[in-house]
Structure 1
């Protein structure tokens, strides 16, 4: 796994070798033996190296690059995992104790996309009902696949782009990252749907503290 941070006005993704070094090992046997996640931190399998981004801990999977938007203080606005031509954008949100919110969120996304003229359909997937959409971007038509996973007081939303958006079998290592994801919800009360805080690892944030401005988006922002 490679860690990179995209700076505003910089088309290149600067690679942080120290962060990459932390993630250059992946215990495939430990990952395969565990049940499919995302996992709550209270039930996270042992023996898997992960990149700690605060509320999200991302498993180290060979060939997967982690790209983030972060401000000079190290606060992350967006996390995107990239493998070859595929991408997976991740978000994590507060949810109630008693019920999941993906059904409601999915319907709102569907209505918003439909209102924008996108072709949208609901299809069954490994985590339940997914959304698949074809949207217009400056680069032309783009396929997106929205996946939601409800956990204890949290919800993970993933958006696939590339071949993995129309063919789940093409997700490969990105699907492995989602399955091995760990959520650290914390104990503090938060409004439902509020994004859970994400931050750069301290050593990376220290290096980025001199940077000015927010970073650019690397994939289209979903509705």
Structure 2
């Protein structure tokens, strides 16, 4: 989804500068994300989780995945379905979705489930039936390779979600902004998230023993909670 910018020969660049003045940035041609924080992207309401800027709308419930004391992912619950998103570091010159997709398929089959690959709106994806305590669950795995990052989205819930639910959750994926940062990271290392400022303030006040309202940093619609 992310094309490489064409590089002109130095002499051609010099000639263009001489004719037309300094070179301008190549126009942004992509119409949807997920977006990289270093590129232009459309404005809309998003919650700032540090490594991810997650779109939020009325009717969403947002939960956070924790590994120990670290936030590593987020879950958007809408109607009877859930969208779980995680961002990882990736090599500079190659994506990792092909490799991750093979690992996921092997894991599903190893657990006694079934999985098939199909082409979706974001490219190759997996549709699986995963064994669970209450019977097999339908799971859809979406992956997007970005510049030095990889975004994994997992949709679960109803076996056949409505077109509205499907479009809404796919819209969340399209409007996510990934903030990779410049620090060195190993491939597949999770990009750590953090609570938004309003939520951090509420947690600090609660830890200090002061009376505060329930953790809800949004004025309307979605609520945020922590899950482990």
TM-score norm. by structure 2 comes to: 0.72
Shift of 1:166: 5.1
- Map of 1:1-223 to 2, 5 A cutoff? 35-70=31-66, 75-163=70-158, 169=163, 170-209=165-204, 210=207, 216-217=227-228
Q: Is the 8 A contact 2:35 2:175 kept in 1?
A: yes
Are the structure 2 counterparts of residues 141 and 56 from structure 1 closer, same or farther at C-alpha, using a change threshold of 3 Å? same
Task: Give me the whole-angstrom Cα distance separating, in 2, the residues matched to 1:42 and 1:131.
Answer: 29
How many residue pairs get matched? 181
Provide the secondary structure at the position in 2 that maps to 1:175. helix
Task: Give me the whole-angstrom Cα distance separating, in 1, the residues matched to 2:97 and 2:161.
Answer: 21
Are the structure 2 counterparts of residues 146 and 81 from structure 1 closer, same or farther at C-alpha, using a change threshold of 3 Å? same
Q: Is the 8 A contact 1:72 1:205 kept in 2?
A: no
Shift of 1:139: 2.0
Task: Give me the whole-angstrom Cα distance separating, in 2, the residues matched to 1:155 and 1:142.
Answer: 25
Provide the secondary structure at the position in 1 that maps to 2:202. helix
Runs of 4+ residues over 6 Å off in structure 1? none
Provide the secondary structure at the position in 2 that maps to 1:171. helix
Aligned counterpart, 2:16: none
Structure whose alpha-carbon radius of gyration is higher: 2
Shift of 1:46: 4.0
Shift of 1:106: 0.5
TM-score norm. by structure 1 comes to: 0.73
Aligned counterpart, 2:4: none
Unaligned regions of 5+ residues in structure 2, if any? 1-29, 209-225
Q: Is the 8 A contact 1:64 1:174 kept in 2?
A: no
Unaligned regions of 5+ residues in structure 1, if any? 1-33, 218-223
Q: Is the 8 A contact 2:88 2:149 kept in 1?
A: yes
